[in-house]
Homo-oligomer: A and B are copies of this chain.
Amino acid sequence: MRNCIIAQSGGPTVAINASLAGLLDANANRSYFGRCYGALNGITGILDDRLLDLSRIMSKTPDFTDRLIHTPAMYLGSCRYKLPDPDSEEGERICKRIFLLFQKYDIDSFFYIGGNDSMDTVLKLSRFAEKNRSSVKILGIPKTIDNDLAHTDHTPGFGSAAKYIATSLREIACDAYIYAVKSVTIVEIMGRDAGWLTAASVLARTDSSPAPQLIYLPEVPFDLAACVRDTKSLLERENNIIIAVSEGIRDAQGNYLSANQAVRDKFGHAQLSGTGKALETVMRDQLHVKTRSIELNVLQRAAAHCASETDLTESHDQGAYALTASMEGKSGQMMTIHRIEGTSYQTRIASSPIDQIANKVRSVPLAWINDAGNDVRQEMIDYLAPLISGQPSLFYKNGLPDYLDLSHLRG
């Protein structure tokens, strides 16, 4: 029996370990790989030969995969490493080094669990394998709270982040309603280019609670004057206005609200902060009411205590399906999930060629955003609602979630 390597990359989600668990559980059932190795810190762990023997850890740790499902962030650690083009001299040298390690450990398949940048790595490695007639299969398993991968209905990690955002917005609304004074609360939500996460705030609404009354996604130009006008008009009818705003909103000229604070990361993406704070300042100056801003920050991607059971189950299933894909001889593919049309929510898992997915961004359809650009339509609510359902049974100890030991990552 040959072996496999699994690695995780990109930003954390609370479901990325569920996919790892799904793959390990499937292999325990079907005994396809002799050993499952985990590379530490993504592709860099392969370059540095830093591997964990996951099969051994699994056999020694009670409830290992069950606890893995409920542990946030990456059990194997992550990296932000951009693989150079394999056609470049440097890229070829690095790819050769990776495939030498695959040879050393008798690797049949390499599974990379990650988002857009990780799928770029899957694309490059699978092209290199093809070009060099390597038999190693390269497969991608998606995860990203941003929900912006193409060719899949939604991505692992998104449903749980959506649930945390909607739960928090609902609780922030309770907090805002208690004082009989006019107030504006701005909640800044992650999502550089895709508004899926911010859109999820709509689920906080109930028959008796309209918050968030305004929702701004990065897919449509942000009109600051209209936002102030809409808020003012709402304040005439009710005391407490809550505004959900994506960190990535830009005006018609493409300028970020907090443009002077934008810097770029290694992949060339703008790193934003302070959108909520910037809007808070404008609102306070122009509306003269109590104003505050709240940044949901990393908890929207790390709050495993508030995960969606549907998300964890589907993430586990996609990890398990990756084993099937490998057994079927597939390579250069990413696992995908598809909604079966019908009255109730049902899905099926498949896979799609990575070159149709990598380096593409799936934005919110403009038809799901209202004409004024300050709310989402019913189609979005129907799409989001099933993804947050179910509360997982966490392991608790002394009143706190008992997550797996991550000390192997602490350096």
Given A163-B400, A299-B171, A401-B170, decide whether A180 and B294 contact each other with a Cβ distance below 8 A: no
Is B298's CB under 8 angstroms from A167's CB? no
Complex Cα–Cα for A85 and B40 (A): 65
Complex Cα–Cα for A170 and B399 (A): 12
Is A77's CB under 8 angstroms from B178's CB? yes
List 9 contacting pairs A-B, 8 Å CB cutoff, sorted by A.
Answer: A72-B171, A78-B179, A168-B299, A174-B406, A239-B410, A292-B298, A310-B399, A385-B399, A391-B399
B residues in contact with A168, CB < 8 Å = 299, 303
Q: List A residues 140-192 near B (Cβ within 8 Å).
A: 163, 166-168, 170-172, 174-175, 177-180
Q: Which of B44, B180, B303 contacts A44 (CB 8 A)?
A: B180
Is A12's CB under 8 angstroms from B77's CB? no
B residues in contact with A238, CB < 8 Å = 410-411
Q: Please, which residue of chain B has its CB at the minimum distance from the CB of A303?
A: B171
Is B177's CB under 8 angstroms from A406's CB? yes
Is B305's CB under 8 angstroms from A306's CB? yes
Q: Is A286 positioned at the interface, with any CB of B under 8 Å from its CB?
A: no
Q: Is A208 positioned at the interface, with any CB of B under 8 Å from its CB?
A: yes
B residues in contact with A407, CB < 8 Å = 208-209
- What's the least CB distance linking A186 to chain B, in Å? 12
Q: Is A301 positioned at the interface, with any CB of B under 8 Å from its CB?
A: yes
Residue with the greatest number of chain B CB neighbours at <10 A, chosen from A174, A203, A389, A403: A174
Q: Is A4 positioned at the interface, with any CB of B under 8 Å from its CB?
A: no
Is B400's CB under 8 angstroms from A240's CB? no
- What's the least CB distance linking A398 to chain B, in Å? 6
Q: Which of B80, B175, B305 contacts A167 (CB 8 A)?
A: B305
Q: Is A223 positioned at the interface, with any CB of B under 8 Å from its CB?
A: no
Given A41-B180, A178-B12, A179-B79, decide whether A299 and B399 contact each other with a Cβ distance below 8 A: no
B residues in contact with A403, CB < 8 Å = 170, 174
Q: List A residues 340-381 near B (Cβ within 8 Å).
A: none
Q: Is A46 positioned at the interface, with any CB of B under 8 Å from its CB?
A: no
B residues in contact with A204, CB < 8 Å = 400
Given A303-B168, A401-B170, decide whether A406 and B208 contact each other with a Cβ distance below 8 A: yes
- Mask of A279-298 contacts with B, CB within 8 angstroms, 1/0: 00000000000001011011
- What's the least CB distance linking A299 to chain B, in Å? 6
Is B298's CB under 8 angstroms from A175's CB? yes
Q: Is A396 positioned at the interface, with any CB of B under 8 Å from its CB?
A: yes
B residues in contact with A334, CB < 8 Å = none
B residues in contact with A180, CB < 8 Å = 40-41, 44, 77, 79, 409, 411
Q: Please, which residue of chain B has its CB at the minimum distance from the CB of A45?
A: B180
- What's the least CB distance linking A390 to chain B, in Å? 7
Q: Is A304 positioned at the interface, with any CB of B under 8 Å from its CB?
A: yes
Q: Which 9 A-B pairs have the closest CB atoms?
A: A239-B411, A388-B399, A208-B405, A389-B399, A73-B174, A175-B302, A208-B407, A171-B302, A78-B178
